[in-house]
Structure 1
């Protein structure tokens, strides 16, 4: 059986949207879903900082999971864990070894930037699995056009992230490598494309890959500009290990793209 997509749910509208998107993705990939609820409630809930977390019984959780699985056209395995969110998630991750972790992102106007950053940081740092963040309101359709943001520096994917190579191949989507350069520098994409190729991400799809250079002082904004120009429906970013572990992760390009883009973002952790 192919590796599943593990979808995190707190039963909010944003999580429901992420589940529908993941189901469309799973249908394209011909892979099952694991729908996980951590019984500490909302991963993204600002109330988690106030102690006002709502409590659900086991029966209420089972009913909520069943309601969300009903009507899906792909196989779904429900899962419930208890304890601190990240630790509980990791136990289920190790059991199922998913191709991707999928979570929903509420409207940015309703969600503190720091909370998105903290959740993403914890999952990327502790699991090193590819993390797909789906904004609220995203249409549940498998993407046909992707952009992959890359600089000129070589990288190697973390071992759990290498499954994404098969995901990119199975999607059969148009991929555009976007390289952002400062205004005074060349916007040639040759080195960026080579770094992506060397990491193994173009295996089987290289003949259809395009590239686009963008000049911008703000890398995150340049990535968004390149994604718009390529009509992208999903943005892939490289989450370098030093940024994920560093205290200034909230200033990293990965975090900025996750926080502010209106497109789904797939973050790929690196080994270096």
Structure 2
């Protein structure tokens, strides 16, 4: 059986949707789930720093987990931790060696930018795993039948397992659109971006790759509009180390796209 998918849950509607999405994806991949609950920790919860997160007893936590796993049709292992979220997540990753980390995203329009960006930064930086963000309310198909890959002209390196992940996640007949978004005065040719993605191995196995150049004043908005036009079920982003390690992450395209996403986003950590 393939490596499992790790799902974080705080029992919120967004986390429940992420679990349902991950379960369907695990069935497609013929793999299992690891469901992690960290006590008094909520991913992207606006109350994280206010002290208002409700404390659940061990019995309440066990009941909430049992309720959720009962509806899952693939093998699932439950983990409960009392450590800080990042520490607990790293420990579970080290033990189970998952191929993917799945989290739910609430309606982040009402959540302060620093919290959205810092949490995304921490997960990508600390875990160094592909991060799948499932927005609450998303109706995207599983497995995805259409995906958009945002690419640029810069060289990128991906571990072989990460480069192969998009092809494994998508339906066999899925269509991949390679989108190259530039500012209006720049060339929107996809030739170099296509070559970079071929070299990185991310296009291997795709029979249909549709290049699309887009000119837009705001790159993140251009990416989202291209995904909408392509009727995409999944948006693929490359999370470069300079974005996840640098102090300017809060202004990065990756962070902006994640914040406003209405369809699942898969962020692939690049080694460059």
Q: Secondary structure at the match of 1:203?
A: coil
| Aligned twin of 1:41 | 41
Distance in 1 (alpha carbons) for counterparts of 2:266 and 2:138? 14
Q: How far has the Cα of 1:35 moved from its partner?
A: 0.8
Match status 1:186 vs 2:197: no
How far is the alpha carbon of 1:170 from its aligned partner? 4.8
- 1:177-216 correspondence to structure 2 within 5 Å: 177-205=178-206, 207-216=207-216
- What residue ranges of structure 1 are gaps of 5+ in the alignment? none
Shift of 1:164: 5.2
Cα 1:105/1:20, change in 2 over 3 Å: same
Q: 1:90 to 1:211 in 2, by over 3 A?
A: same
Supply the RMSD in Å over aligned alpha carbons: 1.5
Matches within 5 A, 1:159-178: 159=159, 162-163=161-162, 165-171=164-170, 172=172, 173-178=174-179
Q: Is the 8 A contact 2:162 2:268 kept in 1?
A: no
Contact between 1:146 and 1:233, CA under 8 Å: does it hold in 2? yes
CA deviations on 1:170-214 (whole Å, 9 max, x unpaired) are 522211110012212221111111111111111122x21111110
Separation in 2, partners of 1:123, 1:61 = 23
Match of 2:122 in 1: 122
Quick one: distance in 1 between partners of 2:166 and 2:78? 22
Aligned to 1:85: 85
Residue 135 of structure 1 pairs with residue 135 of structure 2 = yes
2-side partners of 1:109 and 1:188: how far apart?
33
Distance 2:267 2:90 in 1: 17
Number of residue pairs the alignment of both structures matches: 269
Match of 1:10 in 2: 10
Could you report, residue by residue, the CA deviation over 1:121-162 in whole angstroms, capped at 9, with x for unpaired residues? 1010011100011111112631111001000011012x4x83
Counterparts of 1:60-79 in structure 2, within 5 Å, are 60-79=60-79
What's the TM-score, normalizing by structure 1?
0.94
Q: CA deviation at 1:167?
A: 4.5
Query: Which runs of 4 or more aligned residues in structure 1 lie more than 3 Å from their structure 2 counterparts after TM superposition?
Result: none
Task: Quote the Cα distance in structure 1 between the aligned partners of 2:28 and 2:110.
Answer: 31
Cα deviation digits, residues 205-234 of structure 1 (max 9, x gap): 2x2111111011211011012112211111
**Structure 1 pair 134/217, CA: closer, same or farther in 2 (3 Å)?**
same
Q: Which runs of 5+ in 2 are unaligned?
A: none
Residue 169 of structure 1 and its aligned partner are, at CA, apart by: 3.1
TM-score with structure 2 length normalisation? 0.94
